Structure 1
Amino acid sequence: MPALYPGQLPDHGRFPYQAITRRADYHWPGGARLAVYLALNIEHFAFGEGLGAMIGPASPQPDVLNYSWREYGNRVGVWRCLELFDELKLPAAALINTALYDHCPEVVVACAARGDELVGHGHSNAERQGVLDEQAERELLALCRDRMRARSGAAPAGWLSPWISESKLTPDLLAEAGYRYTLNWCHDDQPVRMTTRGGQGLWSIPYPQELNDIPMIVGRQMDGKDFAQMIVDNFDEMLEQSRQQPLVMGIALHPYLVGQPYRLRHLRRALQHLAAARGTGGAGGDVWFTTPGAICAHMDRLAHTHTETAA
């Protein structure tokens, strides 16, 4: 977008600024005020090449230390996380690399069997999406969409780019490929409608970069018990804030981190605290444990109702 006057900063043009204190009120299903979802990032990495989070300094490839540490999540951590979610009767969104269908397809089957939402998360987190040209990015989005539909029976409604890496065209290409929402942006506590070049529109569903184990545990070297306390504190504060307006709280988890036994113990304590709030408040409860796809669908219904009312 060209500058209108000297010194004006470039803008993305996807949505205007709007203070959260100056918005229309609405409710989540059942009269809830706080929508909470678990985003379980299940990823597969190329051996001997590409990107990946690290527990220790990078070694010349093949970097067995860092590769095998991440692989613990697919062999052990993810199963422990799913057991915990089952115990607490919590739904989840499984953000999957489609490379999992080759490497450990039973993981994806287990998530689908639980009724979890499957969200597109690229083919592998060994690669960044934002470096691709338009045609290659379009092909990636179509590849993941078509493979998930063929292997799991439904095309994904949502997308999280590997490494949250976007090109300037990513929202446009997502909408054109049939995706209904993105998790890439962390700018708000409510869903925001994004403008796209084709006019289809795309929901931005809040996804956390603070309440996220990678930036906290890997980036800031936070202990598992402190990350769990973050979850509890964030939930308690947002539950109080939600008395004034509906809010979304996502929790981003990676099985190779929170699936480690000592961290899982602390995550268990945090999620027990959240689950205990189920059914409190009004008839439907103040908290809606859900998935980002269900949040997107609810926003579509609200927007449709508003359009009909305005007409």
Structure 2
Amino acid sequence: MKSDPGFYDYWPYHNRPKIKWPNGKKLAFWVAPNIEYYELNPPKNPNRAAWPQATPAVAGYSIRDYGNRVGHDRQMKLLDKYGIRGSISLSTALCDHHPEIISACKERNWEFFSHGIYNTRYTYGMSEMQERDMIKDAMETIYKHTGQKCAGYLAPALSHSELTLDLFAEVGTELFGNDGGFYTCDLFHDDQPTPIHLRSGKQFVSIPYSLEMNDTIAFVVNKMEPRRYGQILKDNFDRLYQEGEASGTIMCIPTHNYQVACPHRMKAYEAALDYITSHEDVWVTTGREIAEYFREHYYQAAINDIAEKQTSIQGAQ
């Protein structure tokens, strides 16, 4: 049995090679709206139930439908106000169910990355070929409807296999060469980008996508009031902005339009966005741009530093 997932090496935060974001910015800031589609009666998965409620889960389904009907428009206008281009964690079935959402985001040059096809269909129990086909279907759908070569991945409902990252990178290369399939949001182990081990040897990056700043974790799991959520966003930013003086950091706010875009939660969210974007030395960007910049400027330096530190650790044992 593995003692860790094996996707990355231990790499102490202290004394890494310094990162400077474009124009000397201290912190890279991105917002990742999860724009999802849930089925009322999805195919059953023996490893995980799609709904915690009894079937039919009308209440669970309808609040998520609210996110696409109402919440998306509300959050999109707020991000427009602060000049933030969303990086959409997309359930690609949305391209067929709600093409008007895709069109509105495409007009704003938002990024689209893969969150699977439906958020009620999980990786658990799939064969390697089934998972590969699902990943390929989602990437091809994004390209068909947006013209974007999908770069990033967040597994549907965070469901993973040991081969997920390998398959995503390989399908990305098959479809789009080096422009496709080169970053993941599924690992929550760092505040800076890190290189990831793949069987193909492709340059592949994990970028921070914070579960702690995720609105569903805040509101549903941790039972926070909106003003408390707004405050932790500011506190998180303050620490990362301070540390970014020494080496560039990343802050991500993962959102859901049926959570943060409810009317009573928007005021606190807007206050946090206003606070973050009012600071100098913040690079307001997308997931793809962060991963591309790191691959081009810092990937090899990171690999070299990791190897040096691993050698040092082994020598001390």
Give the TM-score normalised by the residue count of structure 1: 0.89
Matched, 1:64 2:53: no
Q: What are the superposed Cα offsets for residues 102-148 of structure 1, whole Å, 9 maximum, x if unpaired?
A: 11111111111111111111001112123321111100110001111
AA paired with 1:112? Answer: K
Shift of 1:65: 1.1
The partner residue of 1:244 within 228, 246, 249 is 246
- What is the distance in 2 between the residues matched to 1:217 and 1:53? 20
1:75 is aligned to 2:69: yes
**Equivalent residue for 1:283?**
none
**Pairwise CA distance, 1:305:** 8.0
Measured against aligned partners, the alpha-carbon deviations of 1:76-125 in whole angstroms (never above 9, x if no partner) come to 00100000011111121011101101111111111111111111110011
Aligned to 1:40: 33
Shift of 1:163: 1.7
Please identify runs of 4+ aligned residues in structure 1 that moved more than 6 A: 50-54
Query: Which amino acid in structure 1 is aligned with residue 265 of structure 2?
Result: R
Q: Distance in 2 between matches of 1:201 and 1:67?
A: 38
Distance 1:43 1:297 in 2: 25
Compared with structure 1, are the counterparts of its residues 287 and 16 closer, same or farther at alpha carbon in structure 2 (3 Å cutoff)?
same
Name the residue aligned to 1:291.
286
* Residue pair 1:25, 1:246 contacting (<8 A) in 2 also: yes
Instruction: State whether residues 45 and 52 of structure 1, in contact with CA within 8 Å, keep that contact through their aligned partners in structure 2.
Output: no
One of 89, 101, 120 as aligned partner of 1:126: 120
Secondary structure in 2 aligned to 1:249? strand
Query: Conserved in 2, the CA contact under 8 Å of 1:175 and 1:201?
Result: no
Distance 2:101 2:198 in 1: 34
Residue of structure 2 equivalent to 1:86: 80
**Alpha-carbon distance in 2 for matches of 1:173, 1:62:** 34
Q: Which amino acid aligns with 1:11?
A: D
Q: Which residue of 2 aligns with 1:206?
A: 208
SS in 2 for 1:132: coil
TM-score for both structures, normalised by structure 2: 0.87
Q: Measure how far apart 1:300 and its partner are.
A: 1.7
1:186, 1:12 → 2: CA distance?
Answer: 12
Number of matched pairs? 291
Could you tell me whether the CA contact under 8 Å between 1:121 and 1:161 is conserved in 2? yes
Q: Provide, for residues 24-64 of structure 1, a one-character-per-residue CA deviation record: whole Å limited to 9, x for no partner.
A: 0120001011111001000011123468998xxx4432211
Q: What is the percent sequence identity of the aligned residues?
A: 33
- In the alignment, structure 2 segments of 5+ residues that lack a partner are 173-180, 303-317
Amino acid at match of 2:96: D
Could you say what secondary structure the match of 2:131 adopts? Answer: helix
Answer whether contact 1:159 1:183 (CA < 8 A) is retained: yes
Instruction: State the distance in 1 between where 2:210 and 2:274 align.
Output: 20
Candidates 92, 105, 110, aligned match of 1:116: 110
Residues 304, 234 of structure 1: CA spacing in aligned structure 2 closer, same or farther, 3 A cutoff? closer
Deviations along 1:2-45, one digit per CA (max 9) or x if unpaired, are: 7xxxxxx6233322101111210120001011111001000011
- Candidates 87, 93, 103, aligned match of 2:97: 103
How far 1:151 sits from its partner (Å)?
Answer: 1.2
Whole-Å separation in 2 of the counterparts to 1:47 and 1:66: 9
**CA deviation digits over 1:171-190, x for unaligned, max 9?**
11111011010110010001
Change (3 A) 1:246 1:304: closer
Q: Distance in 1 between matches of 2:269 and 2:298?
A: 35
**Partner amino acid, structure 2, of 1:291:** T
The answer to whether the aligner puts 1:28 opposite 2:30 as a matched pair is: no
1:121-160 mapped onto 2 (5 Å cutoff): 121-160=115-154
In structure 1, distance between residues paired with 2:282 and 2:274: 14
Aligned partners of 1:24 and 1:238: how far apart in 2?
17
